Chains A and B, each alone.
Chain A
Amino acid sequence: MMEIGRRAFNQGLTGALAAGLMGGSVHAAHAYTGPNVIIVRFGGGVRRSETIVGKKSYAPYMLNVLARRGTLIPNMTIAQLDGVDTSHAEGTLNILTGRYRGYSKVGSQGLAPLLEPDAPTLFEYVRKAFDIPAHQALLVNGEDRPQEEYLTYGGHAHYGVSYRSEVIGLFRYKLHKFRAILEDNTAPEDELAGAVKELNALKAQDYRGTAGDSSPVMQHFWDSWRAQYGDTGLKNPRGDRLLTELAVKAIRELKPRLMMINYQDPDYVHWGNASHYTRAIGIIDQGLKRLVDTVDLDPQYRERTVFAVVPDCGRDANGLMSVPFQHHFNTRSSHEIFGLFFGPGIARGKVLDKPVDQTSIAATIGAIMGFKASGAEGRALSEILT
């Protein structure tokens, strides 16, 4: 079993394990030998009461099985600061950069803001510190929020687009599919014209210009997906089950060292059906089980993988509403989340029962992987170690 150990953790805090941290090129970086890390964004927005509170929880596997394998942080919060919004892209960037308000709004698509991180993300830190290709620093994203595909790199002078992660999701698959149809050029004319139209529409959503041609590894990944599920989009798993399927396929084929899975379906509760919320929590819980089972069966991952489970934001607990689960209005409950770490080197069956900031996730993961998330405001949580 790979153990992180306090010494390695402390070295990670200073970045001593990484090479070329300041100004070095990606080619000069060391091979990565530390633990794999899988961040599960328990999104989009969940309350403690339906996830980590005893009999009320709709995530029994996480609470009753995984929490015993690691350290539960029931009092994690998003700080109440001016300009801190409790929403999905914002929460994702809090996790990835370790900073509040570490982003700029560069536009909007419909009601969704388009954000760009101002600080380096975990993907950039790890890829700059170690020789890890983009497809092994992965973001798994859902189809409802394509704008979150572009949260993978910031505008920091020493990091940036060269160190961004690869993204997998239906948006990327569709780009691949339409490009393949056009390259193949054997489809009927109307289908080809349709493919051109669809491809242009997809490209128009790419507000950071990073959804260009994919690497041969990713092309192979999508080719095999296409061979399995076809072009209709009606045969592959849907919603958050799709994210689990993509993540499992990635573990088997791409062997990511750092992967973040952006679950999001609890957010459907906005529209008034409370069962969508509880059902979606259950689906994420089952997704966690499948991920853990996959990791436990894979020699490259078994006992070499640390999981970090954290919501992007909480939700309201508003006694004046029949469905009290919004999250956009800065209520106390929407700032209240939780964290769960488990894997080698993480204390088992422990409850870290003190206030912890969401921004501590990045610093902690940096320390676990052996790099210093220098832009992070939060502290690394050494208490979670064995």
Chain B
Amino acid sequence: MTLTAAEEAAPTQPNRARGLKARASGLFSIVIAIALALTPVTAVLVLGWFMRIMRRETALTLVRHETPGKKRSAALEDFARIGELAGMQRFPGWWHGLMETLLAGTRATAALAIATLPFGALLLLAWWAGWENSFNKGYEQAWVGPLLALAGVLVAVFVLTHLPMALAHHAAVRRIGAIWDVQLIRRLISRVRWRYLLFTLFMVVASAPVYLAQAVPTFIESVFPHLATAGPEEIKRFAGRWHLSFTVYLVLVLLILRRWSARLYARAFMAEAGQAGAYARLVHGEVGSPAGAEVPKPPRRWPGLLTNLMTAALWFGFIAALFTAQFANHAWWNWVNSPISGLPWVFRPY
């Protein structure tokens, strides 16, 4: 079960009934999220929902670490006493806080667009220019496509290396520009470098089924021979089931990954800014150690460089997989959005 919303029910209810109700409520929220993730417009709401979940997870982690050994349920009960956190005691649902979800989704979509559209556009134009030139045998402009591709890959690897931490930071402070707090984000990554590397590995591996969703239709008749003689209606029904299956996967895996990245962010923030009142300082934008407090030692540089390079290599693999999937089954949209790192919507061309 991906939810730990059991702690959120009213304390007057028996534990078992509380847990069941919370689980049912959480499951219902996930089902709605899956339904909303089926179209690109409503996927903005799902992105906002994830931002709220991340913010809550960050707060929960920070509060729990202020008192080592504190259980999630106890930490959640503490939320009611902290003004800034009172609204996050319950697991984000869809009926209450819909406007907040919409605002969070819109902010995150804008932030992601600012961060990822430049390299997405470079890759898209590289692909277009390269093959357009190749088709026309334009030897004179043969350099355009490869140069754009190289620039796109370099920018993509740089941005993606920082994006999960940047998005967690954005979710916590709820500022579009937070995604460009590059210095801070780099410091935060360096505080949890090995954990961040492991997280990146899981994120890249988790993207494989999404790429398969794109590439496998190319040889779908080999996998499902009956489709060779299927009519348009049957193909459409199959396509609907195909899209739904991978959307279910996407929402579930993002529930794990987004919360994981939020916990990493909280851990990094504490390492960077110190423990006491960490969340209160974070929401007030006071990133750094309180006056007079002992400044945490900066992490050593060489291990950081090593993990950064390894993280970048993993993201390079992610981009290489994107190119491979595009070779198999090209779709322009997939250059500008990756459902795992961006808007949670699996492209559906049919």
Q: Do A and B come from one complex?
A: yes
Using CB atoms and an 8 Å cutoff, list the residues of chain A in contact with chain B. Answer: 143, 233-234, 238-239, 265, 268, 270-273, 276, 279-280, 316, 318-323, 326, 328-332
Chain A residues whose CB sits within 8 angstroms of the CB of B128 once the complex forms: 273
CB distance from B133 to the nearest CB of A (A): 11
- In the assembled complex, the Cα of A273 lies from the Cα of B236 at a distance in Å of 23
B332 and A318 contacting across the interface, CB-CB below 8 Å: no
Q: Out of B134, B222, B239, B332, which one reaches A320, CB within 8 Å?
A: B239
CB distance from A188 to the nearest CB of B (A): 22
The answer to whether A239 and B137 touch (CB under 8 A), given A272-B131, A273-B128, is yes
> What 8 pairs between A and B have smallest CB-CB spacing?
A272-B330, A322-B349, A238-B137, A329-B219, A320-B217, A319-B235, A332-B228, A271-B131
Range, interface on chain B: 20 to 34
Chain A residues whose CB sits within 8 angstroms of the CB of B222 once the complex forms: 329-330
A322 and B331 contacting across the interface, CB-CB below 8 Å: yes
B239 and A239 contacting across the interface, CB-CB below 8 Å: no
- In the assembled complex, the Cα of A268 lies from the Cα of B134 at a distance in Å of 8
Q: Of residues A239, A270, A322, which shows the largest number of chain B Cβ atoms within 10 Å of its Cβ? A: A322
Asked if B307 lies at the interface with its beta carbon under 8 angstroms from chain A, I say no
Chain A residues whose CB sits within 8 angstroms of the CB of B131 once the complex forms: 268, 271-273, 276
Chain A residues whose CB sits within 8 angstroms of the CB of B327 once the complex forms: 270-271
B218 and A319 contacting across the interface, CB-CB below 8 Å: no
B139 and A321 contacting across the interface, CB-CB below 8 Å: no
- In the assembled complex, the Cα of A284 lies from the Cα of B308 at a distance in Å of 51
A265 and B135 contacting across the interface, CB-CB below 8 Å: yes
CB distance from B336 to the nearest CB of A (A): 14
Chain B residues whose CB sits within 8 angstroms of the CB of A265 once the complex forms: 135
Interface string of B107-141 (1 = CB under 8 A from A): 00000000000000000000110011011110110
Chain B residues whose CB sits within 8 angstroms of the CB of A321 once the complex forms: 217-218, 329, 349-350
The answer to whether A326 and B127 touch (CB under 8 A), given A239-B136, A271-B330, is no
Q: Which of B135-174 contact A (CB under 8 A)?
A: 135-137, 139-140
A318 and B139 contacting across the interface, CB-CB below 8 Å: no
- In the assembled complex, the Cα of A323 lies from the Cα of B131 at a distance in Å of 15
A273 and B228 contacting across the interface, CB-CB below 8 Å: no
- In the assembled complex, the Cα of A51 lies from the Cα of B15 at a distance in Å of 70
16 A-B pairs besides A328-B219, A331-B228 with CB distance below 8 A are A265-B135, A268-B134, A272-B127, A272-B326, A280-B135, A318-B221, A319-B235, A319-B239, A319-B350, A322-B329, A322-B350, A323-B329, A329-B218, A329-B221, A330-B221, A332-B221
The answer to whether A320 and B229 touch (CB under 8 A), given A238-B137, A239-B135, is no
Q: Out of A273, A320, A322, which one reaches B135, CB within 8 Å?
A: A273
Selected A-B contacts with CB under 8 Å, 24 pairs: A143-B137, A234-B140, A238-B136, A239-B137, A268-B134, A271-B327, A272-B127, A273-B128, A273-B131, A273-B132, A273-B135, A318-B218, A318-B220, A319-B232, A319-B239, A320-B350, A321-B329, A322-B329, A322-B332, A323-B331, A326-B218, A329-B221, A331-B228, A332-B228
A332 and B229 contacting across the interface, CB-CB below 8 Å: yes
- In the assembled complex, the Cα of A93 lies from the Cα of B134 at a distance in Å of 26
Chain B residues whose CB sits within 8 angstroms of the CB of A273 once the complex forms: 128, 131-132, 135
Chain A residues whose CB sits within 8 angstroms of the CB of B135 once the complex forms: 239, 265, 268, 273, 276, 279-280
Asked if B202 lies at the interface with its beta carbon under 8 angstroms from chain A, I say no
Chain A residues whose CB sits within 8 angstroms of the CB of B140 once the complex forms: 234
Residue in A closest to B138 when the chains form the complex, CB atoms: A238
Chain B residues whose CB sits within 8 angstroms of the CB of A323 once the complex forms: 329-331
Q: Out of B134, B136, B217, which one reaches A318, CB within 8 Å?
A: B217
CB distance from A24 to the nearest CB of B (A): 44
Chain A residues whose CB sits within 8 angstroms of the CB of B28 once the complex forms: none
- In the assembled complex, the Cα of A318 lies from the Cα of B218 at a distance in Å of 7
- In the assembled complex, the Cα of A329 lies from the Cα of B131 at a distance in Å of 22
CB distance from B264 to the nearest CB of A (A): 36
Interface string of B204-238 (1 = CB under 8 A from A): 00000000000001111110000011001001101
CB distance from B326 to the nearest CB of A (A): 7
Chain B residues whose CB sits within 8 angstroms of the CB of A271 once the complex forms: 127, 131, 134, 327, 330
